Structure 1
Amino acid sequence: MTTAAPSTEDSKQRIADTTHELLLEAGSTPDPRHQQLLDEVVILNAPVARSIASRYRSKGVDSDDLEQVAYLGLVKAANGYKIDASTAFLSYAVPTIRGELKRYFRDCAWTVRPPRRVQEMQGSIAAAEPELIQRLGHVPTDEETAAALGTDPAEIAEASSVRGCFSTLSLDAPGAPEGGTSLLDTVADAEDGYDLVENVHTLTPAVAGLGDRDKRILELRFRNGFTQEEIGHELGVSQMQVSRLLRGILDRLRTDLAAPDGVPKNG
């Protein structure tokens, strides 16, 4: 004879029943036993906290940090829950954990930061939601939340609409569904060609006023990449002479470029 393995639903029900018993006992037991019972509730329901945290992993925050925040929400739920036959512990704990995660994103993990009033409203919603769920027996509507907070439903809707502003796309992410290029490939780079055109346009009048030998020295040095020694061999002069000539040419060009009217002074 074989015994069927317990189903997932059976396991969840056993955890729920044990949790309820622990909370009942904790409600009539002083510390330190009271706190020990609440700690057992937290440990027993830790998988729920991890599961909720896993739903936020695509928002650019480290998984370990998310789990720690979710555990904090679970601890708050265990300490704040009031035994009520109409509301199970998880019906109170899940919104509390979610609220703690949302508060963490609001305070610590914004990528695109909305107005402060929206952040504060989202924090108020997260704080009020667990109690509303326990009292109403369902996730509150914008109108119900607004009534509890004494505000307009439009403000609740606005605060709820920015819950995804936490992560940015990596520049290494594909730039198109078929792949092949990354987002970085589509970002415009600084164009060096514009600087080159501007430099040529600025230098042309000044260089035009130089003699043939000076133009040849500039060509050999900056176009052909010759060393001063190689230029000396090419022109039949010493390296020291090339150095003095090159310095004199550059000084003249600098003077011409600095002239207020832009008219070259050499000739």
Structure 2
Amino acid sequence: MEPLLVKLTTMHAADPGRARLRERIIDAHLPLATRLARGYQHRGEPTADLIQVAIIGLIKAVDRYEPAVGRGFLPYAIPTIRGELRRHFRDSTWALRVPRRLKELHLALQRAGDELLDELGRAPRPSELARHLGIPVTQVHEGLTAAAAYHPSSLNRPAGSPDDPGSEVGDFVGDVDGGFDNVLNIADLEPALAQLPERERRILVLRFYREMTQSEIARVVGLSQMHVSRLLAQSLRQLREILSQPAPLPQSRHDAA
């Protein structure tokens, strides 16, 4: 996929083939965007909305990626997509008056959910959240219920210009394809990570989920920064190979139409 990204940056904007190549690259990485979006689904927001937000992040990553920097696309795309999702929640507001205690509990559950998601590779159960925070399960249920009063900014919010005042954010995002779940089952990141040694998995989690620097990771795992850098590069090459396998699948949507 990296050669296609390099080719994309060299093509003229008016070249009709560029739009097709761009769409192909985006389609090939939809499973990744979906996977990252599902990592936030325990926060009480519709998964479809989160996928839409993640796709926006993916599109930004494809359009802004500079192969010459030498980072590789995945190390650039993953933080970009996660950043888009975090901005989505940061811009959210509490729609109802909720006691401060419940707001704090809700935020604590979000943080705990993120931590357990890294450890478990799935959304944690209420009982697991309770054990992690050292609180009764009933309190977890109470905090999760408070999420009902937490209304993130909608994709229906205005996004138009003076020439097009009726436009909404959702107008600029494609529909979620019904085959996403099937594609995700084939190209899920979790099985890909499972093929890596435990040390490499931990380093990837620290780098892309905890967003730690290589020097910070080196201190945590007891290796040199150079060794961490080599392990990251090696692990990302393996993941790229695995994640590139579903690339032809999006075309089947057109074949089935």
Q: Fold conserved (TM > 0.5)?
A: no
Higher relative CO (Cα under 8 Å, sequence separation at least 6) belongs to 2
Larger Rg: 1
Q: TM-score range by the shorter chain?
A: 0.3 to 0.5
With the length of structure 2 as denominator, give the TM-score of the two structures. 0.37
With the length of structure 1 as denominator, give the TM-score of the two structures. 0.36
